[in-house]
Amino acid sequence: LPTPCKRPTKMARSCSLTLMLLAVFAVCSAVVLVSAEKRVIFAQVVHRHGSRTPFATVNKTRLCGSETGCGMLNDAGKEMLAAVGSWARSRYINNADSTLAYMWNVSTYNNKFVSTRSTNKARTLQSADSFLRGFFPSMTDFYPVIYSDNYNWDELLNINSLAAFRVAHLTDLSKKRQEHETSVLSRFTRVELCSIGRELFLDSVCCVPNFDVTDCAIQLRDIAVSFNTKPISSTNSNPQIRKAHL
């Protein structure tokens, strides 16, 4: 091989290149051989919450119901996360290529093999529970262990708890609200927003003089999305919000 003080000859450069190519080939071959024998020994599943009732600020009983409450997981949301849990079980346990099949070949909840972390919001805690009930199909009476932390200080699951992101969010908030209002008014007039709001008992939000277009639109959209998974979506009791949402 050439010394640091001597310019490498053409033959030396050729030999070095050949050795390099052989080394790369050997590494690639090793990767291929290892890949063919890989087994899953650890799985981490990250998911959002399921369908929920709206975040209503007024007329909560009419919009969210007296049993569920606002911002809570509804029946459709529970089914969504149970289905995700069932899929995860079929992918990581009922799978011959996964070592988890040998480690967790149980159908009921066991906190020795699973750790669950959630934000301390009702809808996310309910979603975590629903996921585990889909993942462990025989889990009926047992209550799973779900860890959570104060949402304001949860640096793992709440990005706004980090000062840099929080400052950036607050700095751009006014600009984003203005852009949002411009976008909404390009599709709906204030009179139309008021008409839709009145249909959903949001007169005090969408029909007062100089109402905040952004606040009105956000609440209307939130209710419309929630209604898509409720029986009310199949009736004609809310034609305007359904038309606007579609």
pTM, rounded to two decimals: 0.70
The pLDDT value given to residue 16: 37
pLDDT in tens, 37-77: 667 778 889 999 999 999 888 888 888 877 778 999 988 89
Contacts 24+ apart (CB under 8 A), 85-91: 85/130, 85/131, 85/132, 85/133, 85/134, 85/135, 85/136, 86/134, 86/135, 86/137, 87/134, 88/43, 88/45, 88/131, 88/134, 88/135, 89/134, 89/135, 89/136, 89/137
* pLDDT band for position 164 (cuts 50, 70, 90): confident
How much of the chain, in percent, has pLDDT values that exceed 90?
A: 26
pLDDT in tens, 3-36: 444 444 444 433 333 333 333 333 333 333 344 5
Is residue 84 scored above 90 in pLDDT?
yes
Residue that has been written with the tokens 């199909």 in this structure: 137
